[in-house]
Structure 1
Amino acid sequence: MATPFKGILQAHQSALSLAHRALDLAVIAACSLWFAWLQDRLHDSDTWLRLMATVMIFHWLCEYHQLYGSWRGERVKRELMRVFNYWALTFCCVMLADYLLTGPEIVLDRQRIAWFALILFALCGYRLLIRSTLQALRRRGFNTRSVAIVGTGTVGERLACSIAAAPWMGLRLLGFYDDAPQQMALDQLNRRIPVLGGLDQLVLDARAGRIDKVYITLAMSCEPSLCTLVKGLSDTTASVYLIPDVFMFDLLHARSESINGLTSISLVDTPMDGSSQLVKRFEDIVVSSLILAMIALPMLLIALGIKLTSAGPVFFRQTRYGLDGRPIMVWKFRSMTVQENGHEVVQARRNDCRVTPFGAFLRRTSLDELPQFFNVLRGDMSIVGPRPHAVAHNEQYRKQVNGYMLRHKVKPGITGWAQVNGWRGETTTLDKMQKRIEFDLDYIEHWSVWLDLKIIVLTLVKGFVHKNAF
């Protein structure tokens, strides 16, 4: 049976989203045909097949990942990053198809890179132009929406402050509605936001056409009032949004998900889904392959140095937790006389007698980590991510640090956000581990290809030698 509330709870297509679809296809087609004309290949059937494939792949990725929804309340950086991810993935797919169908003579030449860059610039450029124009109009009172907040609790207070801090969204806050108003501290808004009445008054004002959007921030315990309110608002033209108080928790990539038409809200999730997972894996394969090609000879010399300076195997393998907490075997060059991999693992300390002389050099320069590029190539690790800890340390700190196991929502990395910010080496106090986890979770929450590149550059610039590496 159809729900009577579907009309107000389901997002509507906007003229802007339709324009985005048309402009995306037009930009890709125009740039591709211009490049074909420059190469005198405008009448080549391969050109048109490649264009059709490019348009279809990009359009499918954008539709599948809902790029063409409403971006009124989102930062432009997030939209542009998704455009970059989808276009880069489309480009890789087209290049792979060319390679498989045409042969190894297809190379990534300057013209193909220019084609990729031009279309990326155009796709992002017109979006920035539209955004800038709309934001300027909204600041002047055009293209605005009248907004009402239901609930004067903490969630409603935070929402009001968010709306006031982002005038570019074009949301004009009329006031609050609540049957039992609470005292709020809204000093940062620089103006008084009134409580306009109870829930019955809200329905009357919405029916009179005074309200465009209603944001419900009541606690989940107010279910009877919520049902009555939504039923009343279904007789109005206002758009209704529910902001559950579960968002007051410290969430990691919270988002909604549909399960056979039933909407659920994830409280903890990973950013590595869909195209992001493919982009991250492509990044790992390319970078690790290039690095392994460059360090093959140094690794051979290091292996020889280990065999000549101490008894024991060249490599040290230790079980650690990988993605989703699954155990993986991490490879390192052996730098100690012991190979602890049990229920108790003692962290290396300054002047540790277990470290061999040659191993001390490897640890100071982080060269003992080089075999982990094979872990990256295998898919167990990433170039960038939270550093993997020994299983014994995981079991210890998961009981002491809140949110510790959330760092396993992504693959562990050779280098990470915590490491380039100085949080590496022995964790002699619980505060040090908490700080490391804080940076790990910050990386997961704000992951992007650009952040990965930034961390890689910082790792190279700051060098592998660190005062905490011993």
Structure 2
Amino acid sequence: MSGLMRQHMSKISAIFQFTDTFLIFSGYWLAHWHVGNDWKPKDSLIILLTCTLFLIMAHKQELYRSWRISSLVEEIRNLCSAWLFTLLILVFLGFVFKQLDYYHHKVTIAWLIVTPIMISLWHIIARKLSHILRSQHYNSRNVAIVGYSEMGKRVASTVNNAHWMGLNFCGYFEDRCGRDNRYVRDECSKEYIKGNIDELLEKTKSGAIDMVYITLPLHAEERIRKIIDAFSDCTAGVYLAQNYESYSLLNGHWDMLGEVPVLSIHESPFNGVDEWTKRLEDILLCLPILLVIGLPCLIVAILIKLDSPGPIIFKQKRYGLNGKEFTIWKFRSMAHKTKEDDVPQAKNNDPRTTKLGRFLRKTSIDELPQFLNVLGGSMSIVGPRPHAVVHNTKYRKIVDSYMLRHTVKPGITGWAQINGFRGETETLDKMQKRVEYDLFYIQNWSVLFDFKIIALTIYVCLTKRDAY
């Protein structure tokens, strides 16, 4: 059972891994040759380390999975993400071991740009060639579907509308397809239901069918088990297609609990390598930001002290990772009289806001001390915005999946904020949309996605004024 859920490693995947590492080496060599630098033993060590890190990150990003189940855009995104991860780790190691001075800036910049372009072009050309061959029925696969169901129709539609996958739909097969059955009264079923399970099994054994998708509902466990047992006597690929979306999966995936296969329903994306990658990203971005904002923050602190009585820093309890409380830091922008157990959200022209505070909130300067929260590990630069404890207590009872926001660290900025859901959420609908965007971020996290959010945050802060 332990090998049941392993990832398939094909010869094509091995060829791509070899070619990608060769292109990484070629990019580095071409950069050296263009600049005129001599090749040194340390350069060989850098290439070996880079290729190893890239392959690890590429597998983590599922770069080498089958083209039949991944798009070109997704592949290029995974490739760039793996390359970016690799560079971040190289920079971190160079900083730790004080080797950053060894990197020639012209060589590094040329290598950084040329390498992903070469690998991307190679992947695009190879994929396009494969699509052409598959559309001409080279390396094609015949597909049959067990179960005339809504999920079966979705699988058939996907196969019929994506000829580049090289899959030919051969029809549905149903045991419940007698003359008086409701399935054959459907005009579509009369055309596509080709027989019962026994007939499909014979076709599969003869080699006429290469892939079988079982789309029966989960409650038909006994039927599914018998069908799987029957098809274990042939060499066709057998797949179980289910409507897992109805379970509101958050980073759902198959895993192993000892010898037991389990389906993850709710899980943080930051486990193992990804947890360290996210933390490394936060530290590498946070340190230079703190150096840049240090003097401006000192000036802001003096102005706050001169503007109104009270502390410079506003501290408040918020819910963080796994729903645990932490203390968030902000520049105080309101009169110092708000109680912790009565924290209404800030509103437009809020009378509690000081004159300086109005400017700080509109420009988001009041959020800058939270980079200390990031450095301390209680927050990330990008993530769902943390709410006051009293707001969490309220909304977790009335907004579906609200607490799933806390499967990751809260952030200074987030996907919801750049999509217009920052500042006051005066209606339940706005809070529901904010949660929806937060969960989308958690489900689709990547380092490139974080960088996109950071860039858009800068743009929003410079052009819009939704916070007050």
TM-score scaled by length of structure 1 = 0.89
Deviations 1:317-354 (A, max 9, x none): 11112223222211101122246564442212233332
Give the aligned CA root-mean-square deviation in angstroms: 2.9
Equivalent residue for 2:350? 352
- Measured at CA, do residues 112 and 185 of structure 1 come closer, stay the same or move farther in structure 2, by a change above 3 Å? farther
Residue 459 of structure 1 corresponds to 457
- Residue 12 of structure 1: how far off its partner (Å): 4.3
Q: Report the AA paired with residue 135 of structure 1.
A: H
Q: Partner residue of 2:170? A: 174
Task: Say if 1:85 and 1:275, in contact at 8 Å, map to a contact too.
Answer: no
User: Between the two proteins, what is the percent identity of the paired residues?
Assistant: 39
Query: Residue 316 of structure 1 contacts residue 339 of structure 1 at CA under 8 Å; is this kept in 2?
Result: no
Return the letter of the residue paired with 1:136.
Answer: I
Aligned to 2:74: 78
Match of 1:449? 447
- Conservation of the 8 A alpha-carbon contact between 2:32 and 2:107: no
**Conserved 8 A contact 2:61-2:78:** no
Q: What CA deviation, in whole Å up to 9, does each residue of 1:383-442 have, x standing for no partner?
A: 222211111111211111111112222222212222222212222211111111122222
Q: CA deviation at 1:68?
A: 3.0
* 1:314 partner letter: I
1:334 aligns with 2:335: no
User: Which of these residues, 309, 324, 330, is aligned with residue 311 of structure 1?
Assistant: 309
Contact 2:81–2:448 (CA under 8 A) maintained in structure 1: no
Match of 1:162 in 2: 158
Q: Say whether 1:396 aligns with 2:391.
A: no
Kindly tell me the number of residue pairs found equivalent between the two proteins: 463
Match of 1:145 among 138, 141, 144: 141
Give distance in 2, aligned partners of 1:305 and 1:422.
30
State the distance in 2 between where 1:361 and 1:60 align.
46
Residue 73 of structure 1 aligns with an amino acid whose one-letter code is I
Q: Which moved more, 1:60-69 or 1:25-34?
A: 60-69
Tell whether 2:87 aligns with 1:91: yes
Corresponding residue number in structure 1 for 2:16: 20
Q: Which residue of 2 aligns with 1:41?
A: 38
Alpha-carbon spacing, 1:36–1:262, altered in 2? closer, same or farther (3 Å): farther
For residues 378 and 104 of structure 2, what CA distance do their matches in structure 1 show?
28
CA–CA separation in structure 2 for the residues paired with 1:166 and 1:311: 66
Conservation of the 8 A alpha-carbon contact between 2:364 and 2:461: no
Q: Residues 288, 11 of structure 1: CA spacing in aligned structure 2 closer, same or farther, 3 A cutoff?
A: closer
Supply the distance in 2 between the matched residues of 1:238 and 1:168 (Cα, whole angstroms). 21
Q: 1:324 aligns with which of 322, 325, 330?
A: 322
Q: Alignment partner of 1:16: what SS?
A: helix
The one-letter amino acid paired with 1:49 is L
1:440 aligns with 2:438: yes
| Corresponding residue number in structure 1 for 2:54 | 58
Aligned residue identity for 2:167: L
Of residues 204, 207, 218 in structure 2, which corresponds to 1:206? 204
SS in 2 for 1:173: strand
Deviation of 1:149 (Å):
1.5
SS in 1 for 2:69: coil
CA contact (8 A) 2:62 2:78 kept: no
Aligned to 2:406: 408
Question: What residue identity is the alignment partner of 2:298?
Answer: L
2:211–2:237: 8 Å Cα contact kept in structure 1? Answer: yes
- Determine the C-alpha separation between the residues in 1 that align with 2:318 and 2:459: 28
1:361-372 equivalences under 5 Å are: 361-372=359-370
Matched, 1:232 2:256: no
Deviations 1:184-225, CA, capped at 9 Å, x for gaps = 9999x9x98611222222212211211111111212221221
What one-letter code is carried by the residue in structure 1 that aligns with 2:287?
A: S
Q: Tell me, what secondary structure is at the counterpart of 1:105?
A: helix
Contact 1:253 1:270 in 2 (8 A): yes
Report the AA paired with residue 53 of structure 2: I
Aligned equivalent of 2:288: 290
Secondary structure at 1:469 match in 2: coil
CA distance in 2, matches of 1:40, 1:360: 55
- Amino acid paired to 1:365: T
Q: Which residue of 2 aligns with 1:110?
A: 106
2:127 to 111, 131, 141: 131
Post-superposition offset of 1:275: 4.4
Contact 2:328 2:373 in 1 (8 A): yes
The offset of 1:455, in angstroms, is 2.5
Q: Note closer, same or farther for the CA distance 1:221–1:142 as it changes in structure 2 (3 Å cut).
A: same
Distance of aligned partners of 1:240 and 1:329 in 2 relative to their CA distance in 1, 3 Å threshold: same
CA contact (8 A) 1:89 1:275 kept: no
Q: 1:292 to 1:186 in 2, by over 3 A?
A: farther
